[in-house]
């Protein structure tokens, strides 16, 4: 039976598929150093596909865009580590995003643009299996933000 990958962790249990937390950890490590490229490509793609969201962002809001990507990666890491503070953080961000005028439907759009960006960056070890783990993580993260935004907006 072939080993599932080069990772030291996986090597010890070759017959088992790596779990999402392991895939997320490895891919986050491989993405470090690519943040600037991710910010540039992600917002190009997101604005090109969904021009209506562009006006929600300041024209020169490069710091906010960098922070948004950083916080997305931090949230994926916290999700992989099952950090207890993650949900509270996501709820606060979901509320502030509702105040920026972000609509719930933009979250799945953002997730697809992020996944396609990561496909393009193609860091070592990136694969359809890793993409699927990211899709699950980002889906869960953005669901919490989206629900908090809906409740906040409806209050
Ligand atoms: C995983 C999902 C997301 C995360 C973690 C996230 C995180 C962040 C963070 C950390 C900031 C910096 C300011 C702040 O703390 O509020 C920010 C700003 C912002 N985000 Fe997000 N965001 C996400 C998704 C989205 C989506 C889907 C939209 C839809 C358009 C959006 C629109 C904005 C806007 C308009 C700003 C303010 C930009 C400005 O001031 O120019 N975000 N985001």
Average pLDDT, integer, range 100-117 = 97
pLDDT at 60: 82
Give the model's confidence band at 11: pLDDT under 50 very low, under 70 low, under 90 confident, else very high: very low
DSSP characters over 93-150: HHHHHHHHT--TTHHHHHHHHHHHHHHHH--TT--HHHHHHHHHHHHHHHHHHHHHHH
* Domain-embedded: residue 17: no
pLDDT at 16: 59
pLDDT at 27 over 70: yes
Distance CA 132, CA 127 (A): 9
* Domain-embedded: residue 89: yes
Ligand 1 pocket mutation, candidates 54, 92, 97, criterion most atoms within 8 A of CB: 97
**C-beta separation of 53 from 104 below 8 A:** no
- Taking Cα atoms as reference points, which of 8, 12, 117 lies closest to residue 73? 117
Closest CA to ligand 1's atom 28 = 102
Instruction: Give the domain range for residue 86.
Output: 24-154
Average pLDDT, the chain: 90
pLDDT at 6 over 60: no
Q: Roughly how many angstroms between the first and final C-alpha of the chain, as a whole number? A: 56
pLDDT in tens, 57-96: 988 889 999 999 999 999 999 999 999 999 999 999 999 9
- Taking Cα atoms as reference points, which of 111, 107, 153, 148 lies closest to residue 132? 111
* Domain-embedded: residue 18: no
Ligand 1 pocket mutation, candidates 47, 68, 94, 144, criterion most atoms within 8 A of CB: 68
* Domain-embedded: residue 28: yes
* Domain-embedded: residue 8: no
pLDDT at 17: 63
- Taking Cα atoms as reference points, which of 147, 12, 29 lies closest to residue 80? 29
**C-beta separation of 76 from 141 below 8 A:** yes
Q: State the CATH number of the domain containing residue 146.
A: 1.10.490.10
pLDDT at 59: 86
Residue with tokens 């950083």: 70
Average pLDDT, integer, range 146-151 = 96
CA of 19 to the centre of ligand 1 (A): 29
**C-beta separation of 117 from 42 below 8 A:** yes
DSSP characters over 12-25: TTTTSPPPHHHHHH
* Domain-embedded: residue 42: yes
Query: How many domains are there within the chain?
Result: 1
**Lining residues, ligand 1, CB within 6 Å:** 53, 56-58, 61, 64, 67-68, 71-72, 75, 93, 96-97, 100, 102, 106-107, 110, 141-142, 145
CA of 87 to the centre of ligand 1 (A): 16
DSSP letter at 3? -
* Domain-embedded: residue 51: yes
């Amino acid at each position: 039976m072939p080993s599932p990958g080069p990772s030291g962790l996986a090597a010890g249990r070759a017959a088992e598929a790596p779990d999402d937390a392991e895939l997320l950890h490895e891919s986050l490590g491989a993405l470090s150093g690519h943040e600037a490229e991710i910010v540039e490509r992600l917002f190009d793609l997101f604005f090109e596909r969904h021009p209506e969201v562009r006006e929600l962002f300041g024209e020169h809001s490069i710091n906010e865009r960098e922070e948004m990507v950083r916080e997305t990666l931090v949230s994926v890491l916290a999700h992989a580590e099952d950090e207890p503070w993650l949900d509270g953080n996501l709820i606060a961000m979901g509320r502030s995003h509702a105040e920026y005028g972000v609509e719930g439907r933009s979250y799945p759009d953002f997730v697809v643009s992020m996944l396609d960006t990561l496909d393009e960056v193609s860091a070592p070890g990136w694969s359809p299996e890793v993409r699927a783990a990211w899709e699950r993580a980002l889906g869960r993260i953005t669901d919490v933000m989206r629900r908090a935004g809906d409740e906040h907006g409806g209050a």
